Amino acid sequence: MPARLLILALALLLSACARGPDTDGLKIYRHSLGGAPSSLDPVQSATVYANHVVVNVYDTLYAYKYLKRPYELKPNLAAAMPEVSDDGLTYTIPIKKGVYFIDDPAFPGGKGREVTAADFVYSMKRHFDPKMRSQGAWLWAGRIEGLDAWKKAGAHYDQEVPGLRALDRYTIQIRLTRPYPQLIHTLAQGFSAIVPHEAVDYYGREFSVHPVGSGPFKLETFDSVRAVLVRNPKYRREPIDLAYEGYDPARHARYGIAGIEGKIPPLVDRLEIHFIKESLSRWNSFTKGDEIQYATIPKELLNEVLLQKQPKIVLRKRYADKYFMLAGLENGFVHTDFNMKDPAIGYNSDPERQKRNHALRCAIRYAFDWAERNRTFYNDMGFVFPGIIPPVVPEYDPDAPRDALEHNPDKGRRLLAENGWTADNLPTLTFGGVASVDSRQMFEQFRGWLLKIGYPREKVQFDSYASFGDYNRAVKQAKVMIIGMGWGLDYPDAQNTLQLFYGPNASPGSNASNFNDPEYNRLYEISSVMQPSPERTRLYRKMNRIVLDACVTISGLSRRNIYLWHKNVISYPDQSIVGGFHLKYVDVK
Amino acid sequence: MEILQYALRKFITGIPLILGVTFISFLLMVYFGPDKTYELAGKNATPEQIAEIRHQLGYDRPFLVRYGEYLRELVTLDFGYSDSTGERVSHILERTIPISLALILPGFVLGNLLGIALALVAAHHRGRWLDKLIMGGSVVGMSISFLIVIIAFQIIFCSNYGLGWFPVRGWNVYDFWDYLRYVTVPTLATVFVALGYNTRFYRAVLVEELGRDHVRTARAFGAPPAEVLFKHVLKNAMIPIITRIMFSIPFVVVSGALLIESYFGIPGVGLVTYDAITTGDQPVLKAVVGLTAVLFVLVLILNDIFYKLVDPRVSLQ
Amino acid sequence: MSATAAPAARPVSESLWGKAWYKFRRDRFGMAGLAVVLVYLVIALGVWLGLWGQHWSSVEGPMWAPPGPDYWLGTNIIGQDIFERAIYSTKTAFEVGLVVAVLSTALGGVLGALAGYWSNRWPDELILWLMGVLDAIPFYLFVAAIAFALQDNPYAMHIAMIATFWTTTARLVRGEVIKLKNFEFVEAARAIGLPQRLIIFRHILPNTFHILLVQATIVFVSAIKSEVILSFLGLGVKDGVSWGVMIAESTQEVQAGHFSNFVTASAFLFVLVMAFNLFSDALQDALDPRKVSA
């Protein structure tokens, strides 16, 4: 190996004969993301970044319409929306015929074969095979008849799973253990992408960097700074129907999107997705002109780039001349939770102390100043809302009372005094956070507020963790007392955020606060099997109220992102939910 | 022949070093390093899933068994697959180390050459204003954060807010001119920062040499300054200089330059190593640490041989 | 030893230290450097005694206030007084920088001398092995591990830094000592029967002072810069601020056009390091027995 290294190094330095890929005349689009995926195996596609690549090299049964907002599902590899039985337990899904995997040495003769319903069954089974190290199994755990039993019996792929069958070559049938209204949403995620078993067997562990799919693109190279995808010549030809995709002239005409009507995706020959963590480096590359063509504005430069922020966002002329802009709220939110498992501020075997803890948490919440936090860290553009139902989901209540967001140090002080809290008996508060300038500053800001309700300075401390992995581990082991977290929506349904406070989801699950309220749990279980309806929305909002009254979280703020792209690019971008699905519709003039 | 025997003997005595490094590093990785389990566990993991993942990653096996396996991997140079991406570790290293080398070498060489040159000037004019000026410059270089230098250079030389002569990010190197385009600004940044440290150190060494009797004698005999500097001073000063240079090599080669790679979008081994450390990707870490140790031992041997060649008073005993 | 012409009445002491002090006093740059270092020391002591710099963490001020009568050097993004923070950081710098620089240089010097004196025998092999092991382990890995292991120890950071910084000094001293031990003065010392301990510490080691001094100043700066990284890893100043932290904060601020934080911290750091350098250069010259006059 050392000899090979040396030769490679010399070759790189002295080569005048090696030529790059011939990109003359090709249409190239260079996208950028704020982070990198580690694995491209759908079974591990847990991050937004991985999803962007996965949904472009693989097919999922369903996807989201390109332009429709609020988001709406549409068939992708499926031929139609599913046929659901009356009891809501059986889903029958037809898939399109004549869809082929790309050519790859994994297939006999190197030619990719047709995609069948059995491939979907195989892909889903992989989530329950321990050897595959799935990160998405939680979406379907305990929901599909026989799947968990299949796993317990040793995960043999030749064994049938009663709830997951290919009725024939092109028909899938899923049988659930109880109604799961969000099932179709899960079938639009990268996790559910369809993979051929030949490739998994052939490449083994390296399958995660050597994808073989049936999506609009195929992967050419992948490293820690970018992924290069090229058009898949075998991709099914489906002309764009803009009306179907949700085109609305009032919102979309100014970006020139009408021009892609009738064209056949993918519209570019070569798609480069650059992974750039440093916002300033990303911005420099974006403004260069011949590098990336899409970026978000770095926080530090917002005042330099924007002319005004309220009531409408407007770019300064020299930027408005060169770039299109789209501003939108993220599909997620940030919030700060209290760890209820910690008897100092949460559940306590002494009912008197538990009551006082409740008052303490509410007092701390009064100290929190959302307006100032928004101004300092989110450029005054974040959207603050009470509770855990963010503004982007249909069940959001714009008229919900905002008392939980109130910044009132006097009320905080009074609460503490009324409940027997003094500077001597107040518990030491420990904030957890990743080791970074922002976390530290957020902590120092919060500490400053706590001083105003009478908290002694030495009793407010910061526990910094070297990396997000360490922090995450501590949170999942319920070791962090006050947890600053963000949540990205997996699908546009409030159930995805309400499950964050469902008792059985406590650590190591996603319920980082370890909240466990019997009434909340009851309402959650009832609403989780209901289809969207006004009654369900009422229940959701009631649950939101329970969380707010318990003062278990200080929530929440949805960040506003501003996307810019070069004017020769025809696109309507989206970071998540539609996310990577939009890339096949991007055209370059 | 004698040198070869000496080298072989030294290598054998270098084995405890490799063992020491790998043992301690592995100890650190296993007991104090980040735990990959929770990253792989996904959003709503159950305790059973977590136990499964730990088993997959091999975390539940006894320490010495895993250490023995590590040594075997080092000997066969087969480190398995990355726990993060699943790619073969040897593929990752083959792909990234040449790039890091090509990136860092110019800066490394230039930084040291310029440092020696500046130090010669400063030492020659010792105590006078030119000396103080160079030393002041060195201190500035040493005090400025590398990050600020990178950001400033990127804005000044690459971006459209500055000169825009060079690309901001990327490494599409297919011929020599591409190479120059992509490596220039990173090299400038590296040299700028390293120059301060290098000059300061080399000057001290040279000043010490300048004070030696044989130099005074040479001057007394009327030797021109250039001859004094190069023939008498530099040769003797080479020992600490070369020592310093040689010992920076293993880290430069295998660990890469993280900040540069991150800001300039260069897919080298620095990024890979840093990610491995912060996420606890043990296969990659084992490879990087093991190879660094081996390189280190090689450098030690070379350094000792070099001492022998340069200073006849030093014996190989 | 040649006789020096003593100015006016006071006789100059003939010892190494006496002559050194005499020469040092006449070096203006060196005295200036010393004066500045002493000023910083006084500032640090004042912070430590609670006289000033105590309000470095209060978030009273407006965001990014410009320098003015209320906030002498302005405020940072969360409204903290930059001047207070810079003053408090002086204490941190001395606590960390000085302690680490002195201890790691001393440790490196001693171990390096021992290794060099007995080169190629077992003390040398052992110390070389130890140095090699410590150097070859990636810095972040090593430091993160110490962070974890010594979590509640207030000196965890100092220990981590000393443990990594001594090796360079030791290596250089070792190389120098290998050269020196073959000089005649060592042979002469041996011939008159001096014990090895004295030969090493009284005769050989002082000849490596130039390396030690320079390394100390380099380590001082490195310690302050490493302290930033270590603070973030949870090791460093748990409840405090340093110039390094201020510089890290300011990285984002300068891009938005606010330079006060960055300039303040960098200037404070630069001036102290420069003063240290001038001081150590003058000291090096003064201690050099071959330089008869300044």
Angle separating helix axes B282-310 and B235-250, nearest 10 degrees = 170
Considering CB atoms only, which of A39, A207, A469 is closest to B38?
A469
Single out the residue of A442, A433, A404, A392 nearest to residue A559, CA to CA: A392
Considering CB atoms only, which of C138, C168, C247 is closest to B145?
C247
Give Cα separations from B148 to B62, B153, B186 (angstroms): 45, 8, 13
Q: Which amino acid is at A382?
A: G
- Counting beta carbons within 10 angstroms of the beta carbon of residue C239, is it exposed (0 to 12), middle (13 to 18) or buried (19 or more)? exposed
Chain B CB contacts of C210 under 8 Å are: 204, 207-208
Single out the residue of A144, A203, A205 nearest to residue A176, CA to CA: A144
Considering CB atoms only, which of A13, A284, A469 is closest to B168?
A284
Residue A482, pLDDT above cutoff 50: yes
Residue C58, pLDDT above cutoff 60: yes
**Are residues A448 and C257, on separate chains, in Cβ contact within 8 Å?**
no
* Region of poorest pLDDT, from A308-322, C27-41, C243-257: C243-257
**Residue A256's pLDDT is what?**
92
Residue C146, pLDDT above cutoff 80: no
**Residue A8's pLDDT is what?**
55
**Residue A17's pLDDT is what?**
40
A43 or B57: whose pLDDT is higher?
Answer: A43
Q: How is residue A115 written in tokens?
A: 């995609």
Average pLDDT, rounded, for chain C: 78
- The whole-number average pLDDT for the span C266-288 is 77
Considering CB atoms only, which of C80, C234, C257 is closest to A465?
C234
The answer to whether A171 and A94 are in contact (CB under 8 A) is yes
The nearest CA of chain C is from the CA of B19 a distance in Å of 9
CA distance linking residue B82 with residue B92, whole number of Å: 9
The nearest CA of chain B is from the CA of A154 a distance in Å of 13
Helix (H, G, I), strand (E, B) or coil at A399: coil
DSSP B79-97: --B-TTT--BHHHHHHHHH
B12 or A377: whose pLDDT is higher?
Answer: A377
CA distance linking residue A445 with residue A407, whole number of Å: 14
In the block, which residue shows the tokens 């408090």?
C88
**Are residues B179 and A135, on separate chains, in Cβ contact within 8 Å?**
no
Chain C CB contacts of A375 under 8 Å are: 63
The answer to whether A327 and A382 are in contact (CB under 8 A) is no
Q: Could you report the average pLDDT of every consecutive run of 10 residues in chain B (317 residues)?
A: 76 80 83 78 81 84 87 86 88 89 88 89 81 83 77 87 87 87 90 85 80 78 75 74 75 68 88 81 86 80 75 57
Taking only the tens place, the pLDDT of each residue in A310-368 is 788 899 999 999 999 999 889 999 999 999 999 999 999 999 999 999 999 999 999 99
Q: Please indicate if any CB of chain B lies within 8 Å of the CB of A205.
A: yes
**Residue C294's pLDDT is what?**
39
Residue A293, pLDDT above cutoff 90: yes
CA distance linking residue C58 with residue A444, whole number of Å: 8
B212 or A28: whose pLDDT is higher?
Answer: A28
A95 or B289: whose pLDDT is higher?
Answer: A95
Q: Which residues of A534-557 are buried (b: 16+ CB within 10 A; e: fewer)?
A: eebbebbbebbbbbbebbbbbbbb
CA closest to A9 among chain B residues: B98
* pLDDT range class, residue A56, cuts 50, 70, 90: very high
CA distance linking residue C141 with residue A261, whole number of Å: 54
Q: How is residue A11 written in tokens?
A: 């070759």
Considering CB atoms only, which of A444, A448, A466 is closest to C147?
A466
Single out the residue of A436, A427, A373 nearest to residue A405, CA to CA: A373
Chain C CB contacts of B208 under 8 Å are: 210-211
* pLDDT range class, residue C3, cuts 50, 70, 90: very low
Q: How is residue A16 written in tokens?
A: 């005048």
C132 or A82: whose pLDDT is higher?
Answer: A82
The chains in contact with chain C, meaning 3 or more Cβ pairs closer than 8 Å, are A, B
Which residue intervals of chain C are DSSP H helices? 16-25, 28-48, 82-93, 99-117, 122-136, 139-149, 156-180, 184-191, 196-198, 209-232, 243-255, 260-287
Interface probe with B: pick from A43, A128, A133, most Cβ of B within 10 Å: A133
Q: How is residue C17 written in tokens?
A: 């230290």
**Are residues C138 and B293, on separate chains, in Cβ contact within 8 Å?**
no
* pLDDT range class, residue C11, cuts 50, 70, 90: low
Q: What is the number of H-type helices and E-type strands within chain A?
A: 19, 23
CA distance linking residue A26 with residue A144, whole number of Å: 45
Interface probe with A: pick from C60, C77, C250, most Cβ of A within 10 Å: C77
A448: Cβ–Cβ under 8 A, 6 or more apart, which residues?
A: C57, C58, C59, C60, C78, C79
Q: How is residue C204 written in tokens?
A: 């050989």
- The whole-number average pLDDT for the span A454-458 is 89
- Cis bond upstream, residue C62 (ω within 30): no
**Are residues A38 and B84, on separate chains, in Cβ contact within 8 Å?**
yes
Radius of gyration of chain A (CA): 26
Which residue intervals of A58-146 are DSSP H helices? 117-126
CA closest to C79 among chain A residues: A445
CA closest to C215 among chain B residues: B201
Helix (H, G, I), strand (E, B) or coil at A75: strand
**Are residues B265 and A276, on separate chains, in Cβ contact within 8 Å?**
yes
**Residue A112's pLDDT is what?**
92
Residue A92, pLDDT above cutoff 70: yes
CA distance linking residue C71 with residue C65, whole number of Å: 8
pLDDT > 70 fraction of chain A, expressed in percent and rounded: 96
B299: Cβ–Cβ under 8 A, 6 or more apart, which residues?
A: B246, B247, B249, B250
Taking only the tens place, the pLDDT of each residue in A499-542 is 999 999 988 888 999 999 999 999 999 999 998 999 999 999 99
A371: Cβ–Cβ under 8 A, 6 or more apart, which residues?
A: A384, A407
Q: Please indicate if any CB of chain B lies within 8 Å of the CB of A12.
A: yes
CA distance linking residue B94 with residue B256, whole number of Å: 13
CA B18 to chain centre: 18
The answer to whether B265 and A281 are in contact (CB under 8 A) is yes
CA distance linking residue B79 with residue B91, whole number of Å: 10
The chains in contact with chain A, meaning 3 or more Cβ pairs closer than 8 Å, are B, C
* pLDDT range class, residue C65, cuts 50, 70, 90: confident
Q: Which amino acid is at C49?
A: L
How many CB pairs lie under 8 A apart between chains A and C? 62
**What torsion, rounded to 10 degrees, do the Cα atoms A196, A198, A200, A202 define?**
-150
Q: Please indicate if any CB of chain A lies within 8 Å of the CB of C150.
A: no
The answer to whether B299 and B247 are in contact (CB under 8 A) is yes
C276: Cβ–Cβ under 8 A, 6 or more apart, which residues?
A: C33, C37, C217, C220
* Region of poorest pLDDT, from A561-570, B174-183, C213-222: C213-222
**Are residues B288 and C273, on separate chains, in Cβ contact within 8 Å?**
no
**Are residues B307 and C178, on separate chains, in Cβ contact within 8 Å?**
yes
CA closest to C248 among chain A residues: A437
Single out the residue of A469, C71, A4 nearest to residue B277, CA to CA: A469
- The whole-number average pLDDT for the span C105-128 is 86
**Residue A6's pLDDT is what?**
56
CA closest to B251 among chain C residues: C136
Residue C3 is classified by DSSP as P
Taking only the tens place, the pLDDT of each residue in A207-261 is 999 999 999 999 999 988 999 999 999 999 999 999 999 999 999 999 999 999 9
In the block, which residue shows the tokens 């979280």?
A553
**Residue C4's pLDDT is what?**
46
CA closest to A374 among chain C residues: C78
Which residues are registered as beta bridge partners of A219? Answer: A229
CA distance linking residue A251 with residue C20, whole number of Å: 81
> What is the CB-side half-sphere exposure of residue C112 using CA atoms within 13 A?
30
Single out the residue of A514, A520, A243, A544 nearest to residue A393, CA to CA: A544
Task: Please give the backbone phi and psi of residue A217, each rounded to the nearest 5 degrees, phi first.
Answer: -125, 165
The nearest CA of chain C is from the CA of B136 a distance in Å of 7
Give Cα separations from A532 to A51, A92, B255 (angstroms): 26, 20, 53
Radius of gyration of chain B (CA): 24
- Decide the pairing of beta strands A429-434 and A482-488: parallel
